[in-house]
Amino acid sequence: MQLNDSPITTHTFEGIEFFLKRDDLLHPQFSGNKARKFMSLLQNEQPQIKTVISYGSPQANSLYSLAALCALKSWTLEFYVDRIPNWLRDKPMGNYRGALELGAKIIAVNNQTSHPTQFIQHIRCPDSSCIVLEEGGREQQAQIGIKELAEEIRGWVYSQANKNVVVALPSGTGTTSAYLEHFLKPHKIDVITCPCVGGRDYLVEQIRSLEIQCLPQILQLKNKHHFGKLYYNDYKIWAALLEQTQVEFDLLYDPMMWQCLLDWYPRNADKSVLYIHQGGVLGNESMLPRYLRKFGSFKP
Ligand SMILES: Cc1ncc(COP(=O)(O)O)c(C=O)c1O
C-alpha cells in the first residue's frame, strides 16, 4: 500500500500567506505524522508479526494511528496505559473511541506496576511475534517515512519560483521535525518548530536519544505552556484558523506553533512558510468539549 504525495494547498492566516502540506489527508484513518513514522511497518512484509505493543495516554494520537495500522495489517494492537479515567471508559470519545472501534486492546496497568514500559518488559515479555514501539513513535525507523515526506517537500520547493521556503511544524518527541531537518538541511531548506511537550531542553533530549546530530530551529513562547492544558489563546487561534482557512487543525500542538509563527513572521516576512499538517484532529473530539465547557463557543 502506497500512501504519499499529500496535496499542498495555499491559505492566508492573519494576513500571512502560507502553504499547507495536507498529511492529514494521506488516509482516512492512518494519516499525519504517525503515518509517516509508521510507514515502514505498513510497507514491509513481516509474516512472523502478529502483535504491535506500545504505550502512552489513552487519548494519544498514536493510539488511534497504531490501531489503524494494525487493522490494515490484520495485526493485534496492545496499547498499555497508566489508567483509563472513568469518564472516558463510560463515554469513549476521540482517539480512544476510534481505537476501540478498530479493535485495539487498551490495557490499564494501574496497581500492577509503576509504568507501562516495565509492565511490557517484565510481565508481558514480548516474543518474536511482537513489535514493541516507543511512545509517540519515537523510533529510528520513523526516518524511512519521514525521508519520503522530505523528498516530497524538496521536489515541491524546487518547483517554486520563490525558493526561500521554511518548513514549520510543532514538536512533541521532535522525531518528525528533527528527521525533516536532517534530510532537508543538505538542500538548504530550513525547518522551524516549537516544543509542545516539556520545553526546549526536553525536546533536545528526545531528539538526541534518536542519535540525530542536527536540530531544527526551535521557537519558544514567552510564557510557559503546559501540554494538554487549556489556554484561551490556543482556542482563539484554533477557531480563527478554522474560520480563515476552512481547515481543521489539531488543538494540542498546532495552536502553539501558530502562536510562535505569528511572533516570528514579522522578522521573516521574506520567507514562504510551508506548514505541515500532522493530523490528530480526531483528538479534537475530546479536546473541543473541554474548551467549550471552559470558555464557551468562540465568536471571532
Ligand atoms: C498532531 C500532532 N502534531 C505534532 C506531533 C508531534 O510529533 P513528534 O512527536 O514527531 O514531534 C504529534 C505527535 O506525534 C501529533 O500527533
Is there an atom of ligand 1 within 6 Å of 250 CB? Answer: yes
Ligand 1 closest atom vs CA 193: 11
As a whole number of angstroms, the distance between CA 144 and CA 166 comes to: 22
The pairing of beta strand 76-81 with beta strand 105-108:
parallel
Q: What is the pLDDT of residue 1?
A: 67
As a whole number of angstroms, the distance between CA 172 and CA 152 comes to: 22
Is there an atom of ligand 1 within 6 Å of 145 CB? Answer: no
As a whole number of angstroms, the distance between CA 269 and CA 162 comes to: 13
Per-residue pLDDT of the chain (300 residues; tens, 9 = 90+): 668 899 999 999 999 999 999 999 999 999 999 999 999 999 999 999 999 999 999 999 999 999 999 999 999 999 999 999 999 999 999 999 999 999 999 999 986 667 899 999 999 999 999 999 988 888 899 999 999 999 999 999 999 987 799 999 999 999 999 999 999 999 999 999 999 999 999 999 999 999 998 999 999 999 999 999 999 999 999 999 999 999 999 999 999 999 999 999 999 999 999 999 999 999 999 999 999 999 988 765
Is there an atom of ligand 1 within 6 Å of 284 CB? Answer: no
| 193, 202, 238, 253, best to mutate for ligand 1 pocket (most atoms within 8 Å of CB) | 253
Using alpha carbons, select from 18, 60, 13, 65 the residue that is nearest to residue 39.
65
Is there an atom of ligand 1 within 6 Å of 32 CB? Answer: yes
Take residue 2 and report the three cell numbers written for it.
502506497
Is there an atom of ligand 1 within 6 Å of 64 CB? Answer: no
Ligand 1 closest atom vs CA 169: 4
Contact 27, 3 (CB under 8 A): yes
Q: What is the pLDDT of residue 200?
A: 96
Who contacts 280 (Cβ-Cβ below 8 Å, separation ≥6)?
24, 32, 61, 250, 252, 253
As a whole number of angstroms, the distance between CA 1 and CA 31 comes to: 13
Beta bridge pairs of residue 37: none
Q: What is the pLDDT of residue 139?
A: 83
3-state class (DSSP) for residue 171: strand
Q: What is the pLDDT of residue 136?
A: 81
Question: Which amino acid, residue 192?
Answer: I
Q: What is the pLDDT of residue 68?
A: 96
Q: What is the pLDDT of residue 23?
A: 97
As a whole number of angstroms, the distance between CA 70 and CA 62 comes to: 12
As a whole number of angstroms, the distance between CA 300 and CA 289 comes to: 18
Name the pTM for this structure: 0.95
Take residue 170 and report the three cell numbers written for it.
510543532
Residue the block writes with cell 516507543: 134
As a whole number of angstroms, the distance between CA 296 and CA 49 comes to: 47
Question: In the sheet where 8-13 sits, what is the strand order?
Answer: 8-13, 16-22, 272-277, 165-168, 190-193, 217-218
Residue nearest to atom 12 of ligand 1 (CA): 172
- Work out the end-to-end distance of the chain between its first and last CA atoms, rounded to an integer number of angstroms: 42
3-state class (DSSP) for residue 17: strand
Is there an atom of ligand 1 within 6 Å of 136 CB? Answer: yes
Q: What is the pLDDT of residue 112?
A: 64
Kindly give the distance from the C-alpha atom of residue 155 to the centroid of ligand 1, in angstroms, as a whole number. Answer: 23
As a whole number of angstroms, the distance between CA 81 and CA 230 comes to: 22
As a whole number of angstroms, the distance between CA 189 and CA 183 comes to: 9
